[in-house]
Amino acid sequence: MDEAWSQLKAEFLELQAPGKLWHKEIQTIAVRKIRRLTGVPPATFGLTEWSKDDLTQIVITERLIGRDQGHYIFEVASSIDDARRLLATELNFALEDLRVPNQVDNVWKNLEIKLTSLGWSQTSSPYSGPDHDSLVRMVLNLKRLKNRGIECLSPLFASGVLDSFAGDLMKLDPKIPKSMLIAALREALTIISPALSIESVGTSSEDYLLASLDSDERGWVANEEFLPNQQHAIEIYSILGPEQLEILFQIACKSSQSEIASILGVSRPTAVKKIDEFTNELSKQFDRLGIDENEKLSVFRGILDLLGAGLEEGKLVR
Amino acid sequence: MNSKIRFDKFQVGEIYKIQDPSSTGKPRLVILAEIDDTDYSALAFLLNNMTEAAIPRDLNISKSKIESKFDVVLMTEYFSRIDLQNLDSQNRIGTLPKVDIEKIRSISFNYPFGQLPVAIESEGIRIGKYPVQKNDTVWAFRANEFENFNKLIFIRNKLSSDYVSRILDLYEDLSPILDDCPIDALFLRGRESVGMAS
């Protein structure tokens, strides 16, 4: 087990809750998330401003303590990387929960127009339609649109789907109260919204992290030392020359020896020699820093991050 | 029997963390459904903590029911054999009564498609509500969990030399008996097993 995770575990064990070290980890993840959400109004999530401290506090109180997810992470994670990925998921969930009221407002605004056009109006007449649970089930079973990511408010239902839903509601009881519909929407969306943000939870680390980074934040990630072994990556990056960094990038792109020769402007045999020199230099640095076999990949990825490389449609680009 | 291993350590219904010794799979929680003392393996359901994303084939189990510190989701479709030696035996996360785990196993197998029947529910055990749809990210989550679970499971082939080695490792007392056993007889028994299997 790595040292950082041992310390976090010890702290959790002592306090039986997340302490200062956990707070710091979540804060780092929150800063990264806020950078990614540049341009998204904080009001989308019911916040007045983007504050790493507020987000950290919400994750700790609502998720780690309120939902006991701190204990889950404590029990399940085996390394600091595992823990960070699980904490990142908790932050996503916290944000999703925060934006449920806004999504309810949006859906209700659209639904109300359709209901009104069918003759619905708010009345205080006795109601004999479906109960709360049945209404929640109806909302849950409406066909949803493809989720367009978690940054912006992605529309949940197509207009036609809401038309049909409004028609069904009117058939059941045209006197259905607004408060009941909103309560049903709130409960249904509280289930739907966080579930939409789940893709990968602490599994394929390399793809998950690299693919989830935007180009503008990669440099920042390096500064924040968020990625595993980032310190080693920075050190090796500073030692390698521009030509060697180009070779590293081209190797990661699976370029052939001829392609690398062409990019470097040298003959193929010279390129082969330079590639050999580069691989020897890299091995030497790995050995010097005492990097384990299974850590080499993440250091390599860290160097690629520093080069500004990232995945775009499955291809490595800068 | 190997003195290092205690077969009576694990009980059906107990929840443990399982790790991949090769570290390619990420650790997860499993609940034991059937223990095979012969080769120190067990059948287990995979658990996760995503209660919001529990689909109608999953069961939300409350922390009070399993006497743990958090709620879990039991994925009835993610059921496989695991190696008990890969469990973090020092730390039992919780326990579901044996009668409940047997009921879950029986009902989920009898109803292999669609939503689980309400009969499976009891106090502290509820069917997941999330209706997964086309293009839902929950599919990606479940696929990732399946891939990861594949790295944590134990593939048992009783006709393989690996299996024999495992048994010999587990039951050290067997070795002297086998040393005295004519090799022809062992070969013959092996052939019979192959014949029966095919």
Mutate to test the interface with B, among A203, A295, A296 (most CBs of B within 10 A): A203
Q: Which of A69, A140, A146 sits opposite B131 (nearest CB)?
A: A140
Tell me whether residues A93 and B52 touch, CB distance under 8 A.
yes
Distances (CA, A) of B46 to B18, B22, B68, B90, B143: 10, 19, 16, 19, 13
Tell me whether residues A201 and B136 touch, CB distance under 8 A.
no
Read off the pLDDT of residues B26-79 as tens digits, 9 standing for 90 and up: 899 999 999 988 888 999 999 999 998 999 999 999 999 999 999 999 999 999
Q: What is the mean pLDDT of residues B115-132?
A: 93
How close does chain A come to B121, measured CA to CA in Å? 17
The pLDDT, as a whole number, for residue B195 is 59
- Using an 8 Å CB-CB cutoff, list chain B residues near A184: none
How close does chain B come to A125, measured CA to CA in Å? 32
Q: Which of B26, B53, B68 sits opposite A202 (nearest CB)?
A: B26
In whole angstroms, what is the distance from residue B154 CA to residue A218 CA?
Answer: 39
The pLDDT, as a whole number, for residue A293 is 77
Tell me whether residues B141 and A201 touch, CB distance under 8 A.
yes
The pLDDT, as a whole number, for residue A212 is 43
- Using an 8 Å CB-CB cutoff, list chain B residues near A191: 52, 129-130
- Using an 8 Å CB-CB cutoff, list chain B residues near A62: none
- Using an 8 Å CB-CB cutoff, list chain A residues near B137: 147, 195-199
- Using an 8 Å CB-CB cutoff, list chain A residues near B138: 195-196, 198
The mean predicted confidence, pLDDT, of chain B is: 85
Tell me whether residues A198 and B137 touch, CB distance under 8 A.
yes
Q: What is the DSSP string of A223-279?
A: HHT-STTHHHHHHHHHHS-HHHHHHHHHHHTT--HHHHHHHHTS-HHHHHHHHHHHH
pLDDT above 90: residue B173: no
Torsion of the alpha carbons at A272, A274, A276 and A278, rounded to the nearest 10: -150
Q: Which of A67, A69, A76 sits opposite B17 (nearest CB)?
A: A76
Percentage of the residues of chain B whose pLDDT score is greater than 90: 54
pLDDT above 90: residue B171: no
A315 backbone dihedrals φ, ψ, rounded to 5°: -110, 145
- Using an 8 Å CB-CB cutoff, list chain A residues near B144: 199-201, 203-204
B1 close to B173: Cβ distance less than 8 angstroms: yes
Tell me whether residues A71 and B148 touch, CB distance under 8 A.
no
Chains A, B: CB contacts within 8 A come to 87
Provide residues of A within 8 Å CB-CB of chain B.
Answer: 67-69, 71-72, 75-78, 82, 93, 140-141, 143-144, 146-147, 191-192, 194-204, 294
Is 0.85 exceeded by the ipTM? no
- Using an 8 Å CB-CB cutoff, list chain A residues near B63: 68
- Using an 8 Å CB-CB cutoff, list chain A residues near B23: 294
pLDDT digits (tens), chain A, 318 positions:
688 999 999 999 999 999 999 999 999 999 988 888 877 888 888 888 899 999 999 999 999 999 999 999 999 998 898 899 899 989 988 988 898 888 899 899 999 999 999 988 877 777 777 889 999 999 998 998 876 655 666 778 888 899 999 999 999 888 888 999 999 999 999 988 888 877 777 654 443 443 344 434 434 443 444 445 677 887 888 888 888 888 888 888 778 888 788 778 788 888 888 888 888 888 888 888 888 777 788 788 778 877 767 665 556 666
The pLDDT, as a whole number, for residue A215 is 37
- Please count the other Cβ atoms lying within 10 Å of the Cβ belonging to residue A290: 8
SS3 category, A153: coil
pLDDT above 90: residue B189: no
**Per-residue b or e along A120-135, where b marks 16 or more CB atoms closer than 10 Å to that residue's CB:** beeeeeeeebbeeeeb
For chain B, how are helix, strand and coil distributed in percent, rounded to 5?
Answer: 40, 25, 40
Tell me whether residues B136 and A144 touch, CB distance under 8 A.
yes
B194 close to B120: Cβ distance less than 8 angstroms: no
In whole angstroms, what is the distance from residue A314 CA to residue B15 CA?
Answer: 38
pLDDT above 80: residue B172: no
How close does chain B come to A32, measured CA to CA in Å? 22
B73 close to B138: Cβ distance less than 8 angstroms: no
The pLDDT, as a whole number, for residue A68 is 92
Distances (CA, A) of A243 to A301, A308, B98: 18, 16, 64
Tell me whether residues A71 and B129 touch, CB distance under 8 A.
no
Q: For residue A14, give both structure tokens.
A: 């002592």
B186 close to B161: Cβ distance less than 8 angstroms: no
Tell me whether residues B129 and A67 touch, CB distance under 8 A.
no
How close does chain A come to B70, measured CA to CA in Å? 5
How close does chain B come to A299, measured CA to CA in Å? 17
Read off the pLDDT of residues A84-107 as tens digits, 9 standing for 90 and up: 989 998 998 898 889 888 889 989
Tell me whether residues A71 and B48 touch, CB distance under 8 A.
no
